[in-house]
Amino acid sequence: MRTVLVLLTIAVATPIIGAVVILAALVGARDVPGGVFDIAPRVWGWLLCKAAGVRVVVHREGEAPAGPCVYVANHVSWFDVFTIASVLKYYKFVAKAELERIPIFGRAMRAAGFIFVDRQNRKAAFEGYEKAAARIRDGVSVVVHPEGTRGDEYALRPFKKGPFVLAIAAGVPVVPTLVYGTREVQRRGSFRVSRGVVHLHFLPAIETAGLDYAGRDQLSRETWARMASTLERTYGIVSTTDGRSPAEPSVETRSSATQVPGGAHLTTH
């Protein structure tokens, strides 16, 4: 039943909300907090969570950054996206380029200012992150899944370095964001949706002030370690890698480096 409700919501809400966003872009609506490009994704995520029977519990540890930041979140289900979208304000997702090809949905995401990254093309991927850095400098936070794609288990996988280069280049903090409970709502590779409770842990921000490109490994490892520690301490799930992607060796092993520019609170939704 929940599966049918979610599919109906996607079929009805996505074209309507997408059309509103596209029309707003065509008439020159400004992208500001509380504007259509801010509210529409949040409403869309909220509707999908309601259709699925998902209750979102937000755990905030420490003070939220006063300005824009990079939210770095684990990824095991499409409901990671829907739940995060339903609670954050004035943000943009960094999404895989394939989503841009989905009719209406892709155009609406582009109109709303979301950033697409081609994971198969390294140069294009960095161009996408440069666009994301420009949006951050304009005062907008971004959400990135550094594992690259959805996983089958909650244990953290290695992080790609792009999101951390992005945070350093933009000069904003990283907020480690742990999502738990979405795997039980919808597993990777399955259309079946079940009701459930999803926990979003927004951990203390990690500042990037004083870091340059060479500090991306340190930033990645610290983010991974904080998320892995919370995952093990709270849910008993152990992550067995150190957060370093095998495809991306540490800075110490590179022969050269490219420089880049410039107490917990609990609420239920």
pLDDT digits (tens, 9 = 90+) for 12-37: 999 999 999 999 999 999 999 999 99
**Phi–psi pair at 222, nearest 5 degrees:** -65, -40
Architecture of domain 2-268: 3-Layer(aba) Sandwich (3.40)
The whole-number average pLDDT for the span 205-226 is 93
pLDDT digits (tens, 9 = 90+) for 111-130: 998 888 876 667 767 777 78
What is the residue extent of each domain of the chain?
2-268
Q: And the tokens for 107?
A: 């155009």
Residue the block writes with tokens 């996983």: 151
What percent of the chain is modeled with pLDDT above 70? 88
Q: In the prediction, which pLDDT does 243 show? A: 57
